[in-house]
């Protein structure tokens, strides 16, 4: 199913947030840090009942289309966040390293990149 969503950008050009709306309801967001030609995903979150409907993918695609000067996207994700890791893999992100005990709970962070 393809949801009819709209995406709005807020914040400044180096620290934009992209917000996805469905029927006027905020259903997800993507917060980025842009340091051309790189972009870091600071946070991405889609409301639970709207997951697996391509909202997250569309938020990332929208951010890329609005920032054509970006050629690499970095992400740091908790090693036990399997759903998010599969999500990034599905978009073509590849593993580039890890940071041991990065999170307060002692879990490692995984670093991934997407070259575009």
Ligand X SMILES: CC(C)(COP(=O)(O)OP(=O)(O)OC[C@H]1O[C@@H](n2cnc3c(N)ncnc32)[C@H](O)[C@@H]1OP(=O)(O)O)[C@@H](O)C(=O)NCCC(=O)NCCS
Strand partners, 39: 34, 73
Under a CB-based contact definition with an 8 Å cutoff, are residues 71 and 37 in contact? yes
CB of 5 to ligand X, least distance (A): 10
Site map 37..76 versus ligand X, x via CB under 6 A: -------xxx----xxxxxxx-------------------
Name which of 69 and 78 has its Cβ closer to ligand X: 78
Nearest Cα to 95, choosing from 70, 72, 116, 76?
A: 76
106 binds ligand X (CB under 6 A): no
2 binds ligand X (CB under 6 A): no
Residue choice 12, 83, 105, 115 for contact with ligand X (CB under 6 A): 83
87 binds ligand X (CB under 6 A): yes
Question: From CA 66, how far away is CA 89, in angstroms rounded?
Answer: 22
Name the 3-class secondary structure at 104: coil
Task: Tell me 19's DSSP state.
Answer: E
17 binds ligand X (CB under 6 A): no
Question: From CA 60, how far away is CA 92, in angstroms rounded?
Answer: 12
Instruction: Give the interface with ligand X as residue ranges (CB under 6 A).
Output: 44-46, 51-57, 77, 81, 83-84, 86-87, 90
């Amino acid at each position: 199913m393809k949801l009819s969503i709209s995406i709005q950008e807020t914040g400044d050009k180096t620290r934009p947030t992209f917000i996805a709306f469905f029927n006027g309801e905020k259903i997800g967001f993507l917060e980025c840090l842009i340091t051309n030609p790189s972009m870091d995903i600071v946070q991405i979150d889609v409301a639970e009942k709207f997951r697996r409907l391509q909202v997250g993918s569309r938020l990332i695609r929208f951010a890329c289309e609005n920032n054509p000067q970006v050629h690499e996207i970095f992400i740091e994700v908790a090693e036990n966040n399997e759903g998010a890791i599969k999500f990034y893999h599905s978009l073509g992100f590849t593993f580039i390293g890890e940071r041991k005990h990065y999170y307060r709970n002692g879990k490692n962070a995984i670093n991934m990149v997407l070259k575009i």
